[in-house]
């Protein structure tokens, strides 16, 4: 039976948990942004059949936690479905017995977790608060797509094992592998992410795909299961837009900013020094930028387009590392007009850049 553990709001929560594991000692990391050493410790807690990873930033509470005892947490931040952070605005109290299911599988503490994640069934990986390694049969493969203005290849697989079927999203070199329906594959370092109300497994910068011997015990999808993915745009063929000769003629504006250092967040802009995706606060050493250009093609003049650092770098075939807006403008102005051949998507981004 679940007790009063319901969400109080989208990211602040009151929850009662039985503590099953606790870090042996206080852990630290360096916040690159503030150059401050951060201290924390981890707990694994259970309520009913739900398992949570709790990161505690309240050092004064380290001795309060004992394995097997139950605690009430108030005002904790919900980082993801099964990850909670206890911060200076949270409160912790001893509480009565919390119901837990007996045959629950406990994940290791994050510091004990292998770098690529634990080997888990697809069903468990979808609920795991940390990274996992999953193995399954490929029952559907999407066409390769290119996002981030054509610079990042993306491919989705539907992977099936004896416990569940899940969509697995791959990026970069992993997306370029030659997957075929029926292949058995092991995918490491994936974590659950909710996309369009469905929990999928998303790859990270550490993810590796390895082909395994065939397994006839896992069936391909029957029609009804297959239809579940029919309307998923990732599995539909990408329409190829016509290649155009593009001339970037003028610069309207440049925005330069700090981005999340987490590779999986792919240059997400930090808002108030926090990453909107992973809630991390560490920025990359090198800033990211976007530029609004005026451009013309053989058919149109005086058009506007916003291009990001990676795309501009791809167009002019150079690495671009700048730390100020003025440096970006000065460098780019000297290159104008910038020519390239590319396809322009209906929402005005470039891909297939040549």
CB of 273 to Zn ion, least distance (A): 12
CB of 199 to Zn ion, least distance (A): 19
Which structure tokens are listed for 311? 């795309």
Contact range with Zn ion by CB under 5 A, out of 51-59, 135-143, 177-185, 267-275: 267-275
CB of 284 to Zn ion, least distance (A): 10
Residues pairing with 290 in the sheet? 255, 308
CA 134 to chain centre: 17
CA dihedral 61, 65, 70, 73 (to 10 degrees): 20
Residue 277 interacting with Zn ion (CB under 5 A):
yes
CB of 263 to Zn ion, least distance (A): 9
SS3 of 252, please?
A: strand
Residue 278 interacting with Zn ion (CB under 5 A):
yes
Q: Output the CA–CA distances (angstroms, integers) from residue 13 to 3, 7, 16, 187, 207, in the order listed.
A: 13, 5, 10, 32, 31
Residue 280 interacting with Zn ion (CB under 5 A):
yes
Q: Based on CB atoms, which residue is closest to Zn ion, 183 or 262? A: 262
Residue 275 interacting with Zn ion (CB under 5 A):
yes
Task: Output the CA angle 346-278-318, nearest 5 degrees.
Answer: 55
Q: Based on CB atoms, which residue is closest to Zn ion, 277 or 341? A: 277
Are 159 and 134 in contact by the 8 Å Cβ rule? The answer is yes
CB of 261 to Zn ion, least distance (A): 8
Q: Based on CB atoms, which residue is closest to Zn ion, 3 or 277? A: 277
Are 182 and 214 in contact by the 8 Å Cβ rule? The answer is yes
Q: Based on CB atoms, which residue is closest to Zn ion, 219 or 263? A: 263
DSSP structure class, residue 105: P
Q: Whose structure tokens read 């539909």?
A: 236
Residues pairing with 140 in the sheet? 158
Contact range with Zn ion by CB under 5 A, out of 136-144, 158-166, 246-254, 271-279: 271-279
Using CB under 5 A, pick the residue from 260, 283, 291, 328 that binds Zn ion: 260
Map the footprint of Zn ion across residues 163-192, applying CB under 5 A: none
Point out which residues bind Zn ion (CB under 5 A): 260, 262, 265, 275, 277-278, 280
């Amino acid at each position: 039976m679940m007790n009063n553990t319901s969400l109080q709001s989208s990211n602040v929560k009151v929850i009662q948990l039985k503590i099953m594991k606790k870090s042996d000692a206080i852990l630290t990391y360096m916040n690159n942004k503030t150059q401050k050493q951060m201290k924390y410790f981890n707990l694994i807690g259970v309520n009913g059949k739900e398992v949570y990873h709790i990161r505690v930033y309240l050092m004064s509470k380290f001795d309060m936690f004992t394995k097997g005892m139950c605690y009430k947490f108030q005002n904790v931040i919900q980082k993801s479905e099964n990850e909670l952070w206890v911060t200076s605005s949270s409160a912790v109290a001893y509480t009565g017995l919390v119901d837990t299911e007996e045959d629950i599988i406990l994940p290791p503490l994050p510091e004990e977790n292998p770098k690529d994640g634990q080997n888990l069934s697809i069903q468990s990986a979808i609920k795991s608060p940390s990274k996992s390694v999953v193995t399954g049969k490929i029952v559907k493969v999407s066409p390769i797509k290119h996002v981030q203005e054509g610079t990042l290849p993306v491919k989705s697989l539907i992977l099936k094992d004896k416990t569940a079927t899940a969509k697995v999203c791959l990026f970069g070199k992993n997306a370029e592998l030659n997957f075929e329906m029926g292949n058995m594959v092991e995918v490491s370092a994936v974590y659950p992410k909710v996309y369009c109300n469905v929990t999928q497994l998303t790859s990270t910068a550490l993810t590796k795909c390895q082909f395994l011997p065939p397994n006839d015990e896992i069936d391909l999808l029957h029609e009804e299961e297959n239809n579940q993915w029919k309307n998923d745009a990732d599995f539909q063929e990408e329409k190829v837009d016509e290649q155009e000769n593009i001339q970037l003629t003028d610069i309207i504006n440049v925005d330069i900013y700090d981005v999340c250092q987490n590779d999986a967040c792919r240059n997400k802009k930090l808002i108030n020094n926090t990453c909107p995706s992973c809630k991390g606060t560490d920025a990359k050493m090198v800033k990211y930028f976007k530029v609004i250009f005026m451009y013309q093609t053989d058919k149109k003049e005086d058009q506007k387009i916003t291009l990001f650092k990676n795309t501009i770098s791809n167009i002019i075939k150079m690495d671009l590392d700048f730390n100020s807006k003025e440096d970006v403008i000065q460098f780019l102005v000297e290159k104008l007009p910038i020519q390239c051949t590319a396809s322009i998507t209906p929402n005005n981004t470039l891909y297939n850049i040549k």
